[in-house]
Structure formats: C-alpha cells, structure tokens
Amino acid sequence: MHSPDYNYLIFKYYIIRIQAVLLCALLYSPIFAQDIQEIQIANEYILKGEKEKAVTLYEQLAKKNENVPLIHNNYFNLLLDGGKFAQAEEYVEKLIKRDSKLFYRMDLGIVYTRSGDITKADKYFRALIKAQGDDAYKLKSVADYLAARNHVEYSIVALQQARTAAGNNLYTLELANLYRISGKRDQMVQEYLSYVTQTPANINYVKNLMQILLSKPEELEALERLLYDKVQQNQNSEVFADLLIWVNLQQKNFYGAFIQARAYDKRFKKEQSKALEIAQIALNNNDYDNADKAYAFVIRDYAGTANELLARLGQIQAREAKVKRSYPVNRDSVRYLITQYQNFKNNYPNHPNAFDAHLNQALLYAYYLDQKDSAINNLNSLILNNKVSPNLKAKAKIELGDIYLLKEEPWEATLLYSQVEKSQRETPVGYEAKLKNAKLSYFKGEFLLAQEHLDILKQATTREIANDAIDLSMRIKENTVFDPEGSALKEFASIELLVAQNKTDLALQRLQNFTVTRKVKMSVTEAVEKNLQFQQSQQPDSVWVNETVSTDRLTIKDDVYWLEANLRMKRGEFEIAYNLAEKILTEFSNDILADDAFFLQGELQERYLKNTDKAMEIYRDFLNKYPGSVYAAEARKRYRTLRGDFTEVDSSPKF
C-alpha cells in the first residue's frame, strides 16, 4: 500500500490534469459548467485534506457517465485509502456494467487485494489475464497497468502469456525488471541472458547491469555455473563465452578467465586475442603466474601478429613483477630480466614498445643493481629521442626525478617533476608529477605546501592518484591536530625519504628508535624539579622545554609499525613482519590500517612462510571481519584458490 504522502502527490497530479480538462470543457460545453465547478470543489477538498467531503461530492458526480473519466482516479483511490472497500467494489461494478473497459475490470481486482481477499483476487486476476487470449497488445496493457500498481506477480503472468502467444522471447527486459523487483534473481538473469543473445551488441549494457545487481559472491558463483552450462550447450555462442570470461574476472579468478579466453580465441579466431586482454588484467591485479601463462599462450598461438609482440613484452613485465615480489630480490634474476629487455629492443628496434622496454630496463639498473649512472644515461637517451611519444618522455622524466632523489639531489628531482606538470597539464602523468612534488614537500616537512598540492590532486581524474593524495592529506591532518609543528610527522617523513633513497638499514634503525623531541610548555617549578633546560615563555609562570616523546604517546605509531613491517618483508624477515602486523591488530584494532595488517598476515603465510592452512584461516576470518575492505575480493579469490576451486576448472569446449 502506498504511503499517504505518495497518494497525496498522485491526487495532486491528477487534479492538475483534470483542471486543464475542465477548462477545455467549460470553453466547449457550457452545459456541464455546474458539474465542472463541483469537480473543482471536490479536488480542492482533497488538497485541503477534507477527504470525506470529497468522497461525498464525487459519489454524486459519479452518477453521470460523462463525469467518470474526470473523477475516477481520485475517487477510486480515496475509497481504497479510506477503507471503503464495499463502496469501491459497488462503484467499479457499476462502471463495468456501463462500460466494460479493461482497466475498470482490473480495478475490481485491485479492490479485492486491498480489502484483503487475496484468494478471490488471485482467481480473478488469473481469469482476467487468461481471457485476453493471444492479444499481445491487451496483455501488455494489463501487465503495465498492474506493474504500476505493484501487482508484479500478475504483471509477470500477463507478459508470459503474451510471450507464449507470440511464440518467441518478447519482453525480456520488462520481465527481467519485474523479476528484479520481486527478488527472483535466477529468473532475472535468465531474461538478461535471453536479451543479450537477441541483441549481442548490447552485451556491455547487460554486463553493467549485472555488475550492479549481482553484488554478492554467491550470486556471481551461481551465474558462473549457469554460464558454464550455457557454453557447453551453445558452443558457437560468442556471447555466452564472453560473459563467462567476464564473470570469472568479476571474481578475480584470472586462471578461469584465461582458460575461457584461450577457448574463445581458438573457437572464434578473432584478430585481437582475448587471452592477451586477460593477461594484462591479471598483471595489473598482481596475478603474475596466470599473466605469464596467458602471455605464453598468445606468443605461441598468435606468432607473427601484433598480439605476439605485446605478449612478449608483457611476459617480461610479468616476470619482472614476480621477481620484485620475491623477497629478498635476487640480483641474478634482475640481470636476466635486463637481458630479456635488451633482446626485445634488439628484435623490435623501431617499435614504440621497444621504448617501454628501454624504460623498464633503466629502472632495474637504478633500483636493483645500484647502477644509477647507467639508469640516468638510458633515461636521458629516451627523453632526447624524437621517436619517443610525449607521454613516455614525461614518464621518463618522472623516473629520472626519482633517481635524482635516490642520489640525494632533490632540487634536480623537483625541477623534472615541475617540467612534467607544466607540459602535461590535466593528464594522468601530469597529476603523477604533481603528487611527486607534494611528496617532496612532505619529505622535507613542508606540510602546508604539500597540502596545497594535495588539495588539487584530490580532484584528479585518476582514481589511484586521487586516493594517494587523500591518504597523504589525511596523515598530515591527523598528525598535526594536536601537534601543530608536526614534530612526529617530520621524523616519520624523513624516514620515508630514506626508504625512497634505498637506505633501508638506516631507515630501520630510525624506526626502531623512533622518538621525537618537541617543545612543550610547563611550569618553572616542574622544569627545575626535572632538571631541564628551559626558555622563558611570554607568561611569567611558565617556560618552554624540549621533551622527548616515545612512540607510545604518538598517533603515528601504527604507521611506524606498518612501514617497518613492509621493510622487514622486503628483506626476507617474514616472521618479524608478521609480528609487526600483529602489533597493529592488537594495539590499533579499529584503525584504518587494521585490514591492511590482517591481509598482509595472510599474504605472508601464503607466499613466504608457505603455511597454506594458516593463510586460508586468515583469509576466511578476514572476510568475516572486513567484508567491506578493498582487499575483500582478493582475499576471497585467494581463499578459493588455496581451497582448490580454480585448479581443475576447465569446462571449455575441447578442440
């Protein structure tokens, strides 16, 4: 039943429409002037809330057939909302005898449902729908009328009868929407699948809808099972194959997505490889093993095409990412990667992707072999090469700035960042350069200047950069509220600068002995008793003294733990990293880093400590404690992977 406010708006809407009709009637039919005046008065009664007066007046007006079209909706709704069901039934039955219009007969069924006689209403509506036979137009009218009055079940019955009469799958979107409203997800999905097979060009529209409507893991799993069946039954259907790849991606099951993409490529032989697309998505989501597998497939099956070249570079990048995550990083593996990039450059010297290989190669020299001068020479050669795109040149300048930061030459770094900011305004790479400058100001303890940059970057079109800007901005605000000078944050930022400069040992030493000296005000007596040196303040009874503050009294303590945990992990000290994450969970269980720490524990157990059972336990508990975390989808995927859900799933067509 609609709310009173809703009904009032409906009444008002009809009154406005009726008043327009009445004005025309007055102009062309002066005979009905008195009735028209009465209708206007009844309408005014409704607006004033004097419903009984309106009902009495409408009752008299309804005795004339010519008045009914002008008063029916208001009069009928007033009777129903006032609980006058017998009067409503009598009124509608009289209308049906005078003029057996279809919507009057449907109104009679609505009287039955509103009065609570559900059995009678059900029998009546089903008989009424059946009586329309194979008249698709009337059945669609019935469905629309009933759906508008929240009789969704009977609207579905009417559309199904219309579909049967037509002998084809009409009204798929209408039925899908009705199934959604009534909570019948399986039927809704079936209708969307039926719709997309009829109109394959709208597959992205259906994907977007299902991404919104199927938000729960079990719903996606059910869709996946349904699509497996559809693919087996319709092996020539490109639509079902594409959707099966898509639903695997929604679950971050990149192995499953690759298996289906491989089958798709073999079956449909498209110019653009679907497996190559999956490989790139897997790489972007840190699933390096499956990215490697997908790239290897493309190299083999798309030899001699543009797909092969992209796959070869992508495979090196996937292996590079894997090497970087294998702590501590093996230098021999790095040298091998440099050789692979060099071979790629030699094989495709004039291809634009060779310049990407050149850039990646330079960064390996700088960060993993400590050959900064070689890296600088390589990057400068890219920047000076006329064949290199402006966007890649800008990226090279940013990387060059980072290497100058490694060399403790921040002024050279900020000069390069600023050049990119100026030349690449309102672009992702330009925003990245601005973020780098903001971090430089942050490292130097210039928090106000950093905030000026960050306030602009919060509106950046690149979500990742905007999020990074928001995170850093929040850290500055949180740690300067009660410490306006930001003493603790300055110490922490200076340690982060050491990390950026690859001075890990010194950074760890500073983190373990993290203390802050800051000026505090106390009484002269207290300062003398503590034997502290002091400086007189403007108030004669107080002084300024330098106080050493330990991490136990600082809000930044959880950040100290988090940074140290990550550094320990990169050094291969996995147990220490795990215990530091546990400190965050124990001491800061409600803090913003709690889900990060919990997920890190799972990753440590899974990938480095090789304790599969413990990792599964952590991921399962993580999903219960942090269902809304950004890591939730990844934790669910890893849990299912460890459980073995994805290892033997290959129901794709065999060739």
Averages of pLDDT over each 10 residues, the chain, 655 residues: 48 50 47 71 85 88 85 89 92 88 92 93 94 91 92 94 85 93 92 93 93 89 92 92 95 94 94 96 94 97 94 96 92 96 92 94 94 95 94 97 94 96 93 95 93 87 86 88 80 93 93 71 58 53 55 73 95 95 93 94 95 96 93 91 72 37
One domain for residues 532 and 615: no
Q: Are 571 and 619 within one domain? A: yes
Task: Among 555, 588, 616, identify where a domain stops.
Answer: 555
Q: How far is the C-alpha of 588 from the C-alpha of 585, rounded, in Å?
A: 5
Half-sphere exposure of 70 (CA within 13 A, CB side): 27
Residues 643 and 603 in one domain: yes
Cis amide bond preceding 540, omega within 30: no
CA-to-CA dists, residue 410 to 78, 413, 436, 440, 463, angstroms: 77, 5, 11, 8, 27
* Residue 600 and residue 532 share a domain: no
Last-in-domain residue among 555, 578, 606: 555
Q: How far apart are CA 77 and CA 636, in angstroms?
A: 50
* pLDDT, position 31: 45
In a domain, 529, yes or no: yes
C-alpha 156/C-alpha 162 separation (Å) is 10
- 650 & 599 share domain: yes
Residue 518 pLDDT: 55
Q: Are residues 574 and 645 in the same domain?
A: yes
Within a domain: residue 104? Answer: no
Residue where a domain stops, chosen among 555, 587, 607: 555
Burial bucket for residue 242 (CB in 10 Å: 0-12, 13-18, 19+): buried
Instruction: Name the token pair of 423.
Output: 């030349």
The count of structural domains within the chain is: 2
pLDDT score for 100:
79
457 touches 438 (CB < 8 A): yes
Give the per-residue pLDDT at 549.
56
**Pair (569, 589) in one structural domain:** yes
Residue 72 lies in a domain: no
Residues 602 and 536 in one domain: no
Predicted confidence at residue 369, as pLDDT, reads 94
* DSSP 8-state assignment for residue 63: T
Phi, psi (rounded to 5 degrees) for 316: -65, -40
Contacts of 376 (CB under 8 A, 6+ apart): 366, 400, 403
In-domain check, residue 394: no
Which stretches of 166-295 are assigned E, i.e. beta strand?
none
In this structure, is residue 215 part of a structural domain?
A: no
Read off φ and ψ for residue 516, nearest 5 degrees. Answer: -130, 135
In a domain, 527, yes or no: yes
Q: What is the pLDDT of residue 322?
A: 94
Establish if 473 belongs to a structural domain: no
Residues 566 and 551 in one domain: no
In a domain, 611, yes or no: yes
Q: Give the integer Cα–Cα distance in Å for 511 and 552.
A: 13
For 369-515, where are the alpha helices, taking DSSP H only?
372-384, 390-406, 410-423, 428-443, 447-457, 463-478, 487-500, 504-512
Gap between the Cα atoms of 302 and 307, Å rounded: 6
Tokens of 162: 């219309």
The domain of 521 spans 514-555
Q: Please tell me whether residues 543 and 590 are part of one structural domain.
A: no
* Residue listed under structure tokens 């099951």: 253
**CATH value at residue 589:** 1.25.40.10
Residue-level pLDDT at 26 = 46
Q: Are residues 537 and 566 in the same domain?
A: no
Kindly state whether residues 573 and 653 are assigned to the same domain.
Answer: yes
C-alpha 386/C-alpha 355 separation (Å) is 11
Distance CA 594, CA 163 (A): 54
Structure tokens of 653?
């067509």
